[in-house]
Amino acid sequence: MNMRAIGLATLCLISMPVVALAQTDEIQVYDGEIAPPGIFNLMIHNNFTPKGRTVPDYPGAIIANHSYQVTAEWAYRVMPWFEQGLYMPVTSPYSSNYGSTINGFKIRELFVRPNAHDRKFFYAANFEFSVNHSYWESRTITSEIRPIVGLHLHPWDFIYNPILDTDYTGGLGNLQYNPSGRVAYNFNDRWAVAAEEYDGFGPLHGFLPLSKQFHEVWATTDYSGSKFLGLNIESGVGYGLTAASDKWTLKLMLSRNLNVHPWHPE
C-alpha cells in the first residue's frame, strides 16, 4: 500500500476542513476487497425508505420518506493495493417533493492491504470526493474519509468503518463522525447473514443530543457467486433507533464483474 498517497489524501481533506447526515447513495460497510486485476466491476445501489423522515434535513432538501435512490458504482483495480471508483449517476428516481432527480457524482480512491479476504486482520482507507446538487447536499463539494479495519475469524467477520465526513467548513472540529460496522456469519463461500449499524453522531467538537443523532440497525443477507447472471447480491432491512433516523429502510445491492461471461465461474 502506498502510505504516502494515503497521508496526502487525508491531509488534504482534514486540513481544509461537514454536513449533517442527509440522503445517502450507498448503505454499505466496506471490507477492503477490490476488483480482480484488469476487471471493471459495476455495483447498482438501490435504497428505498418506505417510512422515514418527513421533514427535509435542511431547506430545499429531498424528503427521505418514500424516497428511492439508485446509484451506479464503477470500479477498476489499478494496482494490487489501489482501486479507482466512480459513482455516476447518483439519482433519486422518486422523492415526494422533487419527483425524479439526478443528484450528482463522486470519485472514490480505495487503498487496501492486498488479498484482504485471505487475511485474519485486514485494513484499508477509502477517500471520496463528491459534487452535489443543492437538494441532495447543502454544500456542492463534500468528501469522506473512511478507514477500514476488520477480522476474518471464519466463519465470523467483524468490520468497522470509523467514517469522517467533511464539507470543508469549520476546521477539524466540524468533521462529522458517521461510523458503520458489520458482524457477519458465513455459512459457506456463497451465503452469509449479517447485522450492521450506521450512525451519525455529529461534529467532533460536540456530538449532537441523542434525539438528533442518526442510528440505524440492519439485518442483511449476502450471496456471492456466478449462477444468477454472475451477480453478487446483498439485501437488507434497516430500523431507525432515534427520531432523527428513518424508521424503515430497504436496500438491494447488485454487482458483477463486467468482462466475465455471465455463465462462467468467477
Quick check: is 264 in a domain?
no
Say yes or no to pLDDT of 222 above 70.
Answer: yes
- pTM for the predicted model, two decimal places: 0.88
Among 34-43, 83-92, 106-115, 240-249, which is the least confidently predicted range? 34-43
The number of domains in the chain is 1
Residue-level pLDDT at 7:
46
| Per-residue model confidence (pLDDT) at position 24 | 85
**Residue 265 domain-assigned (yes or no):** no
Q: What is the pLDDT of residue 36?
A: 86
Beta-carbon contacts of residue 42 (< 8 Å; ≥ 6 apart): 72, 73, 74, 75, 255, 256, 258
Distance (Å) of CA 246 to CA 62, 202, 235, 241: 13, 16, 17, 8
Structural domain contains residue 7? yes
Stretch 39-67: mean pLDDT, rounded? 96
26 belongs to a structural domain? yes
Domain ranges, residue 122: 3-257
| Residues 139-191: tens digit of each pLDDT | 999 999 999 999 999 999 999 999 999 999 999 999 999 999 999 999 999 99
Taking residues 203-230, what's their average pLDDT?
91
Calpha distance 125→163 (Å, rounded): 10
262 assigned to some structural domain: no
Q: Is residue 107 part of a domain?
A: yes
Residue 41 lies in a domain: yes
Main-chain dihedrals φ then ψ at residue 155, nearest 5 degrees: -95, 10
Alpha-carbon span 39 to 224, nearest angstrom: 17
For the stretch 122-146, pLDDT in tens is 999 999 999 999 999 999 999 999 9
Residue 17 has pLDDT above 70, yes or no: no
What's the pLDDT at 23? 64
pLDDT of residue 38: 85
Assign 260 a pLDDT band (cuts: 50, 70, 90).
low
- The cell for 84 is 479507482
Task: Tell me the CATH number at 243.
Answer: 2.40.160.40
**What is the pLDDT of the chain when averaged over all its residues?**
90
Percent of the chain whose pLDDT exceeds 70: 88
150 falls within a domain: yes
